[in-house]
Structure 1
Amino acid sequence: MDEGTAAGLQSAGRTRALGSRDICYLGIAAIAWGAVTWVEVGAWTYHYSDQGDYTWEQARNYCQTFFTDLVAIQNKQEIEYLNASLPFHRRYYWIGIRKLGGTWTWVGTKKVLTKEAENWAAGEPNNRRSNQDCVEIYIKRQQESGKWNDENCKQKKKALCYQASCQPFSCSQRGECVETIGSYRCQCYPGFHGPECEDVVQCAELEPEGAHMNCSHPYRDFSYNSTCVFRCREGFERRGAGTLRCLASQQWSAETPTCTAISCPALSAPDRGQLNCSHLHGDFAFGSTCAFSCQTGFVLTGLESRECMATGTWTGDAPRCEVITCPMLSAPDRGQLNCSHLNGNFAFGSTCAFSCQTGFALMGSESRECTAMGTWTGDAPRCEAIACPVLSAPDWGQLNCSHLHGTFAFGSTCAFSCQTGFVLTGLESRECMATGTWTGNAPHCEAIACPVLSAPVQGQLNCSHLHGDFTFGSMCAFSCQMGFALMGPERRECTAMGSWTGDTPRCEAITCPVLSAPDRGKMNCSHLNGNFAFGSMCVFSCETGFALTGLESQECTAMGTWTGDVPRCKAVACPVLSAPDWGQLNCSHLHGDFAFGSTCAFSCQIGFALTGPDSRECTAMGTWTGDTLRCEAISCPVLEPPSRGQLSCSHVHGNFMYNSTCTFSCEEGFVRMGAEVVRCAATGNWTRHPPVCAEDGAPFLKQVLAYSSGTALAVAGIVLSGTVIALLAKRLSNREEKKQLLNPTSDLGSPGIFTNAAYDANL
């Protein structure tokens, strides 16, 4: 197999042993089987659908259902064989390549199409119409036969499939299945061997000393890819690799490791102390412990024992022996101290002697020694001075003493003072003398007085006195009568300065919010204690045409509020007006709908006349000027039926009123001369003159002439017989009917709307 062929086979995801050109000379059997025709060569077969055409997805589903997958072209020999063996089909055949994520990929193996395995036709792939993500092979095409072309996956073509000898579980999944003529062989992965790669390489079994081993064996104990992890127990460290793996060479990746105890630095005894150690795994190694102690009069500072840890360090810090100390001593007041120190100042073995100055006596031991317990023998001595009797502060006063040699002892001085608001009577200080007595006599404290207070006008005064009338601490409360508010402090106190806190208060009348006259109204107020203050009275009234809503008067109460809400002036209302029947109403409102000052104008529809005034106004009394008006229909003159005829009328708004219509007719043998229908117009006139009924003959000629411009007829020299007159009368009647049809609702008035000349033209 040459390098080009091998590269092509590898790119398709499997290897086929085709020989060189033997594929062209092997026996070929073509068998029709339902919708499937297959061609067999060696140990694998090609198949294609000879009855159905499919989209690319349908073609792949077809191949995966009945065979292995869409064909993956391996080399040029396969292409030549397929081009020679397959029949021509004008839509050609789908093969197993598709663009996935922008990359051409063999779908059966998910491997990318390599450059050397490409077999595109010239100018392909070009994605000419976009979304051409699938590939077809030209079979028996006049040009570029056997080449590939990218195509839209929705197009329908023949499915070209293959059936492989290798199966997913061939070679025990431990090697690559290689197609051969008539069968396959296994090319085992490293670490495996055997016909089906069923055997695995074995390494020597591991037996570590002093180390814990944890192994995983994916195939067999201590075989290829077995992995063993080693660790040492706490306090020991590993010498060698921590992980070993069985290689394909039957050797472990490293030597078996060992574990040794971790060492700590050597320790020594502290000064003035001793060291005692025990060792489990070697001198000063993991697990060794050392105890420390000190001589009498010395104390161990730090841990009493230390242990070598797994980290190679000792627990805690190195201890030391320190001399036991006693509290530092000092000479007593008015005394002296003399000490000797063996092991340090005021430490174990030190001794101290005490003495006092002239005039003071030593109370306690004359000498003391620091013991191994850290305490001094005996109690601390002191030098005490001579004492005087204990003094106390005067009533409402304080005592402040300074003691040089002891409380109320020789040299003590005491100063006297009084609390705030009191004044001292007597000596301000006394001193304890060497005789044990005090200088002078005991002083006392008296309260400071303030000026006498009186109650404010319209108010009261109530005082309490702690130390005498109107003296320091006296408290006076002020209040006012009902309706008055206190202006100033409610309380005043007599201070230590002999003056009262705050200013003198006064009682002022409580004020209410300032009122104002309502719109369209007036206000009249009287004030007893000030403008709009307690007791003020305000009376309200309204202008003509307005009525007061609310209380007529309000009074300012002791609460600073008025006895009611502020009233309002509201325009007097008149009854709501409405338009008369067959009329309109147009109103203007100054102060509200249909209220004082509103004016309303009335008008009637065409054909109706107004009865009464054409406008009304709402007065201050809440009534409208004038009487109620109405729209009455305009009347026309009463009509009578013509002689030898009848009259039929319909009245919409009353007899012979606007829009009444009347129809005329004649008895048999008579002809109607004039309008058949008349209507009462808005002017009060009928739209035409009433007609007459004339006999069918000459006697009526004069009437016809009189009704239809006889002068014009006479001028024309027309001589009419009885029959012609009857015809003229009928035509006149028809002309009148046509006039009514042409203008049935004209209200412009008189019978001259349509002239005789117009009727003559219609004749």
Structure 2
Amino acid sequence: MVLWVEVGAWTYHYSDQGDYMWEQARNYCQTFFTDLVAIQNKLEIEYLNRTLPFHARYYWIGIRKLGGTWTWVGTRKALTKEAENWAVGEPNNRRSNQDCVEMYIKRPRESGKWNDEPCSRRKKALCYRASCQPFSCSQHGECVETIGSYRCECYPGFHGPECEDVVQCAKLEPKGVHMNCSHPYKDFGYNSTCFFECQEGFKRQGAAMLQCLPSQQWSANTPMCTAVLCPLLAGPKRGWVNWSHTYTQGMFTNRYLWGFSITCPVLSPESRECTATGTWTGNAAHCEAITCPVLSIPDWGELNCSHLHGHFSFGSTCAFSCPDWGELNCSHLHGDFSFGSTCTFSCQTGFALVGSDSRKCTATGTWTGDATRCEAIACSVLSAPDQGEPPEQGELNCSHLHGNFTFGSTCAFSCQRGFVLMGAESRECTAMGTDCECMATGVWTGDTPRCEAVACPVLSAPDRGELNCSHPHRDFGFGSTCAFSCQTGFALVGSDSHKCTATGTWTGDATRCEAIKCSALTTPKMGQAACSHPYGDFTFGSTCAFSCQMGFVLMGPESIECTAMGTWTGDTPQCKAISCPVLDPPSRGQLSCSHVHGNFTYNSTCTFSCEEGFVRMGAEVLWCEATGNWTSHPPVCAEDGAFLKEVLAYSSGTALAVAGVVLSGGLIALLVKRLSEREEKKRLLNPTSDLGSPGTFTNAAYDANL
């Protein structure tokens, strides 16, 4: 005989006939159910210990030492330290072959605990039938058994209660690129793969294949097709180029420039074409520039030349200047820049003097001191703003007029997505510094900025729940993740975790904890139910007390409670009508009964009658009372003569007084009526006596009470 205990979506099973060795017990469970039970938490242990009957040899469970490790045989997963439930001093492997585990059910000590035992001993097999099926979780996730249900841990790329939904990536619509896609689940959904090709004369910029990832992002950016480019031509060097472009494939024609002479190879083409392979047709030509005389640097000045085609050749440009960003103030005793002339130097705002600040022309025709120049004042080197953890959350973009991080340099600051800039958006290097070691230093306008994570609204734990958050940048800021859980007896409704996005909003739906529901109860027939609901109708913590109407008794528990597993602590009771003793028809008579709530129960009525020639002695109608007793004793049927004698015996002296009177039918009826009344009064004076029991109620006592 197989006994079972149902637990929501799966059931526990055990056999009450015979005990098995461990291997036999597992074979039994695998034959008729799923396997030996695999216990996942303390709640299951409490439930099994409360539900299963006591057995002197206890029960085998599905854990065994394999390769020196205690292992759940059904899942092939090692027993974790957190899930251990060993009795004190166990496992001891006392005989070095105690590789199987029993569970103490209703043991006086350490009930529900485990003990390692030799596998050859015989015990009851404790089995379970799993709720997880091959089609559970849409075959897109791992089905995890729980008491009363199961949950799906979805594989990457899937989501939903049964992992039925597929992650969706943005639809790809490339321009100028041939795309060929395969969609194993849905168009542009998880694991969709797209390949890209370009037509002749074009080459792909980007990945040849893109795949939709579990993050809803493509594995790379959408590629583009760009025309194949030929290398930039040096020629016609020093000549004109006239381009015509089709998809950036060009043609050019050699032209002559004024001031140049041309020397070209024999049969040099006047035009060349860029092919689809990225090469030019034909050979190159070149031009030679006409040269000019070399220029010299003027005194007290500078010469700055740019040469397009060669030193001091056609197209070269030379600019003459005195020291930049400075001023010269000279006094001449004997003529401009002659013996005795003295010149002093100064620099414009933002520049510092390097060299001698004054020089004098000596008798030898040379100047005293060192060459003088003006250099832009330097500011400290700036770096991109950061927040410290992690660093480099910002970007820096600078423009420099006179040199890197010098007077006139301007730097703009920005932050990456998910961060906001705190401080100046830009800073400029000014000439507001002080002299140090004969050099002026610049300072930056504004304060040093930093990047601060975007803030999301502060979250709080749901009522009857808990909140656990991690904050990589700041409390409830960009990147923060918060996980929600509920207390025992409550289930999570909404997203179990939220993440703060770069827009300052949380992912997921609003979360709350709702009390776990039990099935609704109905009031038993002919009874009442009084219920209290602390968290909602027929939810965790609800209790219901039952009672019955008069004439009925309660069959079952007086009260039951909704548990954290969504089940009641007992079944709904019933109200059963109180029974009276079964009545039989009197000898030489008949019995006719009507039953409202069941044969010979509360409010049943029975009517008695006698055959012809017999007279009923006692009440005609009896009914069953709430006490379980009939309203009077059952009557009997007596012959007319015997009845008259009994009447005369009961009537005593009264009968002698009327001895000479002929008994008519009316007198007999009167005597029957008085006899019935006397029997009723007798029952009321002594309700516990049985009709006809000797010594319980005498005729004399009856007569006295009349």
For normalisation by structure 1, the TM-score amounts to 0.36
Structure with bigger gyration radius? 1
